[in-house]
Amino acid sequence: MEPGGLWCETRDMVQQTHAVHGGDFFKAIGEEFEDLGRSASVVSADVLDAWYDPSPNAVGKVAQWLPWLMRTSPPTHGEGLRRVLARTRGLPEEALLLGSGTSSLMYAAFPRLVRADDLVVLLDPMYGEYAHLFENVLGCRVRRHRLPSEEGFRPHPERIAEDCRDAALLVLVNPNSPTGNGMDTEALAELLRRLSPRCRVWVDETYVDFAPDGWSGEPLVPHDPRLIVCKSMSKFYALSGLRIGYLAADPDWIRALEPMSPPWSVGLIAQVAAVEALKDRAYYRAMRDRTAELRADLAASLSTLPGVRKVYPSVTNFLLFRVGEPGAAEVARRCSERGVFLRNCDSLSPRFRDDHLRTAVKDAETNLRILDALAAALA
């Protein structure tokens, strides 16, 4: 660690096949899908899926044509979906690349962005798949930029840029997971101005649609060839089960990556649902506003629970909070016995030591069930 304690550099970490994720709730439902009715008794707050259904227009169209959609091959490279995305986001089609979720795009893109021994800067804490991919799969050197916990893990462009002075790639999740906060478009533009021309920037915007207007980096893509914005339609659009994502970047870079994009990477049901969802702006704006209300109520109630020491500010569909005894792992275990699954955040930062949990924001009734389970677990 350098003076100031802002970062640490790692490599040759303990090898593991996969990163640690949430999703333990599916063990309670049944991973062979024998009885999906069990889902009604399980609170899946350890993953960040939407609490609401997809657009009624998307559900209705898929339901109307479901047998045909299931047996029919999709457009090979999602040509129609790509056109709709381009119109919706105000970007040229040649600046977009589809994939079956953001994770598949990460694994396709990063081997062509960095080489072994390149230096990659990640935020700390941050979504754990990135550290796993760079350290255990690609063999890069990783520097963790430590977001200040005393400031609610709020990122500062000037501090991040200082840690990137010799980096090949900076990776951001914005808004960040598990912290729930991040940088708006203006702050991201400032960060880009401060970075070396040699430093590429990957911005994962899985949760950006929950944030207020003016947070996305997509408007900056046409003006900076270093910038790659990774987008998901899983969380905000309530399409997690369909696996839809895309990259927005310099068209020359997209053209170089396109030959490695397999045909039929996004299924037909997913393409149809995504097109309908993108058209239904009014529905999703209402869901964003309601999510903000539910988040505020849940945060206020969490902060009153004995044993919850801090609830961090968030603009997303989840909340990070710090607990005391009996510790995050034990609290999560006790909650799971009540059918409420929360995320122990130890795998998301070396600084988290059995003291941070993350919960998804759910509907009002389910949030009360989360609070009841936590109150009992912390007692």
Q: How many CA atoms lie within 13 A of 239 on its CB side?
A: 31
Q: Is the pLDDT of residue 175 over 70?
A: yes
pTM listed for this prediction: 0.93
Q: What span, in angstroms and rounded, lies between the C-alpha atoms of 6 and 22?
A: 28
**What is the reported pLDDT for 14?**
41
* Torsion sign (Cα): 181, 184, 189, 193: negative
The pLDDT tens digits of the residues spanning 90-133 come to 999 999 999 999 999 999 999 999 999 999 999 999 999 999 99
Percent of the chain at pLDDT > 70 equals 95
Q: What 3-state DSSP class applies to 243?
A: coil
Topology match between the domains 19-48+282-378 and 56-280: no
Q: Is the pLDDT of residue 201 over 80?
A: yes
Q: What span, in angstroms and rounded, lies between the C-alpha atoms of 359 and 345?
A: 10
Q: Is the pLDDT of residue 1 over 50?
A: no
**What is the reported pLDDT for 16?**
65
Greatest alpha-carbon pair distance for the chain in Å reads 62
The pLDDT tens digits of the residues spanning 335-366 come to 999 999 999 999 999 999 999 999 999 999 99
**What is the reported pLDDT for 260?**
86
Q: What span, in angstroms and rounded, lies between the C-alpha atoms of 254 and 257?
A: 5
Q: Is the pLDDT of residue 177 over 50?
A: yes
Q: Two tokens at 210? A: 């929950």
Going by pLDDT thresholds of 50, 70 and 90, the confidence category of residue 25 is: confident
Residue boundaries of the structural domains of the chain: 19-48+282-378, 56-280
CATH 3.30.465.10 fits 56-280, yes or no: no
Residue type, 115: R
Report the pLDDT averaged over residues 300-315. Answer: 98
Q: What span, in angstroms and rounded, lies between the C-alpha atoms of 279 and 159?
A: 39
Q: What span, in angstroms and rounded, lies between the C-alpha atoms of 164 and 187?
A: 16
**What is the reported pLDDT for 23?**
73
Q: Is the pLDDT of residue 4 over 50?
A: no
Looking at every residue in the chain, the average pLDDT score rounds to 94
Percent of the chain at pLDDT > 90 equals 90
Q: What span, in angstroms and rounded, lies between the C-alpha atoms of 155 and 76?
A: 40
Q: What span, in angstroms and rounded, lies between the C-alpha atoms of 118 and 168?
A: 6
Report the pLDDT averaged over residues 191-219. Answer: 97
The pLDDT tens digits of the residues spanning 28-74 come to 889 899 999 998 999 999 999 999 999 999 999 999 999 999 999 99
Going by pLDDT thresholds of 50, 70 and 90, the confidence category of residue 21 is: confident
* CATH superfamily of domain region 19-48+282-378: Aspartate Aminotransferase, domain 1 (3.90.1150.10)
Task: Specify the length of the chain in residues.
Answer: 379
